Copies of this chain bind each other. A is one copy, B any other.
């Protein structure tokens, strides 16, 4: 975590405080909860959402509750990771065995529920009623989108529009919320809060697209999760959508072969190795990256219009950093 944020003045210290709150909240009387959550947390996520909330708080007057709310967002994120890994039967997370792999599905489902409720508890104690409502709404949206994504598994006719709507709900909405809560709880003006919320949305869209690219192109040692996971799980994401649409076709014959796989309504797990190769060859990754760049450019443009100062500089730096990340 520290190395990621080293060029962001004040943020590593602030995130240290946030981590303390997460550790404290996770230190339940129950040893399984404490160990399971400590293990996941020490697995060292980037603390991206808390970091974003803290940076945007800098556009107003940062308050004690910001640290708690930042912790709350990370706990929500951890809850979704735990349940996702149960659902996807993913053996590892952050380079370690996933919670369900260590403690069983039963405990993993309950631990996710526990975290969700602790997160709501903190939200209802520390945030305005409006923001508590916002948080609950985002979680409901995330679950709705995940269920929708699930009914789309192995379906081949996923449109670009459908994909974008899905990543908005399951991912960008939480980034937007982080910025909204950071700014509004710091009493930034409504206009500024709305602007930061849009920036969060664009950052989140770019972030998820890069994530989807890394599933095709990442170095397993760096990404710390199995490569090709999404596709094996039946998820059709942007690199594949671009390749099928022929958007990145510097090898049109590969795009053609790819469309062959998709002449049926469904593809099968067995096809995923071949599909990954074809997507790489046909320029699908580059085409997808162009979308990430588009959302990043939008964010950068809105950031340039923000009041000058350290928070603005940090938002700009973070946005650019996320575009070139390799994990």
**Partner-B contacts on A (CB < 8 A):** 28-33, 83, 86-87, 105-107, 109-114, 116-118, 120-121, 123-125, 129, 132-133, 135-137, 139-140, 142-144, 146-148, 150-151
Contacts and interface: CB of A to CB of B under 8 A. Distances in A.
B113 A83 contact: yes
A121 B136 contact: yes
A147 B117 contact: no
A30 B110 contact: no
Nearest to A139: B117
A110 B84 CA distance: 9
A113 B107 CA distance: 15
Contacts of A120: 120, 132, 135-136, 139
A109 to B, nearest CB: 5
Nearest to A104: B150
A258 B117 CA distance: 39
B106 A150 contact: yes
Contact of A144 (B29, B116, B125, B142): B29
B140 A110 contact: no
B133 A118 contact: no
A111 B144 CA distance: 8
A86 B86 CA distance: 11
B28 A144 contact: yes
A188 to B, nearest CB: 22
B32 A151 contact: yes
B124 A124 contact: yes
Given A87-B109, A124-B132, 8 more contacts: A86-B109, A106-B150, A110-B146, A111-B147, A118-B140, A120-B136, A121-B137, A124-B135
Which of A105, A106, A123, A133 has the largest number of chain B CB atoms within 10 A? A106
